[in-house]
Structure 1
C-alpha cells in the first residue's frame, strides 16, 4: 500500500496546472452563467488555487463513465501534466445495466496510478445517497442505493491503496439541502458547486497545497432558476429521464425485491417471524369533571 500524501515542505506547494476529469458535474452542469455555458466546481477551485488561465484543463464530458475517464480523458490530462487533478465520476455507471464495480475500481486505479507517477495530487470523490435528493419509487431507490454503496466501496479501495485524499460528498454539511441542487435534482446548483469546491480545496490545503483564496459560498455571477424552470424540467426532461434510467435499474431492483421476499419467507418458515398479537383494548378514560 502506498504511503498517504503528506505535506513535505513548510511552504505550501503552489499549483500552476489543474486538471478536472469526470462527468457532467465536473463539466459544471447546474451552474449556468450568462453567455458562457456552464461554470461549476472546476473554475471555483482554479480561482481558489490561483491557477493561471493557461494552466486549467477541464477534460470532463457529460454522460462520462469511469472507463471514459481512463480511456478518453486521461491522455489529455497526462499531456497537461497537472499539479492537481480532480476526479468526479461514477454516478452514471450506477444507472446502467452493465454496472461493474470491479472494472470501475481497476479503471480508477489506473487513472490514479498514472497521474501520481507524474507527481500529481489526485483527489477523487465518493458519493452521497442521491435518492434523498431525487426521490424515486421504493424499489428503484433501494437498487440505486445498493449500487452507490458498491461504487463507494470500489472508490474507497483505490483511495486506501494509494493514500490519496478523497472528498465524501455525503458527509459535507448541507449536502442534502435542496438549495445545493439545481432544478434537475441531478447536478449541484451554483451553491452546491461552491460547496464542492470548498470541500476539495480544504482537502488540498491539508495535503500541503497553497490555497490563495478560500471558496466563497455566496452565490454570484450565475443564472438563478425560476419556478417555471423547475416545472418545465420535470415535464420535458425529468420524467423521460426517470423512465429511461428506471428501465436500466428495474431488473436489478426486481432482484433486490425477490431476495428480500425470499429472506422474509425463510425467516417466517424457520419461526424467526411471529405474528404480533393485537393490542388489548384499553379502558375508556372518563373526562375530567
Structure 2
C-alpha cells in the first residue's frame, strides 16, 4: 500500500512560523502529518511566508498537483487583507480555481477560517475594524467555497483557544508551538470523524519550553521589525485612509453602511464564481 500523500499550501501560518525546531519551522501541518496514517506519510510543505492567494494559485498549486496528494490543505488569505491591493473578487476567483484543481484530482481538501489580524495585534478600533471587515469577507468566501467543494473545514476564527495569549508567539500574529498543536489537533479530529485520519492525534502538550521574554524581544527587534516595515510601506497609507473613513461614518452614525458594502462585495464575488452563500456562513 502506498503512503498517504499530504501537501500543504499557504503562507507563514502553514510554513510553521512561531513553532521553531532546530534551524527551521515545524508548524501545524507537519504535526498533523504524523497522525494521518498508521504507516508512512509523504508530507510536502509548499507554504511560503508572505504568500497571498495569487502565489498559491500560480506557484504552489501547480507544484502541489504534480505530487497528486490524497490530502491538500489550503489555508490562505490573511496576507491578502494586509495589502493595499486587496480585492475580494480576485480572492474568490483564485480560491475557486485552487479548490477545484485539487478536488478534481480526488484530493481531500482542508481549509480554515482565521481570526482577523487587527484584533490579534491589538490595533485601535478605527484601524482594526477595516482589517476585521476584510478578514470576515475572506472567511465568508472560504466558508462558501469549502461547502461547494466538500472541504474538511476548521472554524478557527472564533474558537475559544484563539483568545489564549499562551497560544501565540511574540509577534501576536502567528501561533506559538501550543497554538500550532491546537490547529493540528482540531484538524485531526475533523479528519478522524470523517474516517480520513488513522494515526494517533497530535499531542496538545508542547515539546519545547516557550521562548523566553528576551528571545521574543530579540525576534521582534530583528525579523519582526522587518515585517512591520514592509507592511507599513504597503498597507499603512491605505489603512489610515480607511480609518479616517471609519471615523467619519462613526461620527455620522452610518457605520452600518460599511458593513453592508462589504457584504454586498462578498455576495457579488461569490455570484461571479456561481456560489450561493449559505445563511450561516462565517
TM-score band, normalised by the shorter chain? Answer: 0.7 to 0.9
Larger radius of gyration: 1
Total equivalences in the alignment: 252
The question of 1:173 aligning with 2:160 is answered: yes
Q: Pick from 11, 14, 24: which aligns with 2:12?
A: 24
SS in 1 for 2:152: coil
Q: 1:30 to 1:96 in 2, by over 3 A?
A: same
Please name the residue that 1:229 is paired with. Answer: 215
State the distance in 1 between where 2:31 and 2:19 align: 11
State the distance in 1 between where 2:120 and 2:252 align: 32
Deviates more, 1:203-212 or 1:193-202: 203-212
Contact in 2 for aligned 1:15/1:83 (Cα 8 Å): no
The question of 1:196 aligning with 2:183 is answered: yes
State the distance in 1 between where 2:10 and 2:223 align: 22
State the distance in 2 between where 1:112 and 1:254 align: 34
Deviation string, structure 1 residues 241-272 (Cα, Å, up to 9, x no partner): 435424514424423532542463377xxxxx
Q: Deviation of residue 160 (structure 1)?
A: 2.6
State the distance in 1 between where 2:40 and 2:209 align: 23
Contact in 2 for aligned 1:143/1:249 (Cα 8 Å): no
SS in 1 for 2:248: helix
The question of 1:134 aligning with 2:121 is answered: yes
Pairing of 1:178-257 with structure 2 (within 5 A): 178-220=165-207, 222=208, 224-239=210-225, 241-247=227-233, 248-257=235-244
State the distance in 2 between where 1:67 and 1:83 align: 23
Q: 1:259 to 1:29 in 2, by over 3 A?
A: closer
Please name the residue that 2:33 is paired with. Answer: 46
State the distance in 1 between where 2:14 and 2:250 align: 40
The two structures have a TM-score, normalised by structure 1, of 0.79
Q: Pick from 139, 146, 155: which aligns with 1:159?
A: 146
Q: Pick from 94, 99, 102: which aligns with 2:89?
A: 102
Task: For structure 1, list consecutive stretches of 5 or more residues without a partner in the other structure.
Answer: 1-13, 268-289
Pairing of 1:53-68 with structure 2 (within 5 A): 55-68=42-55
Deviates more, 1:200-209 or 1:234-243: 234-243
SS in 2 for 1:104: helix
SS in 1 for 2:109: strand
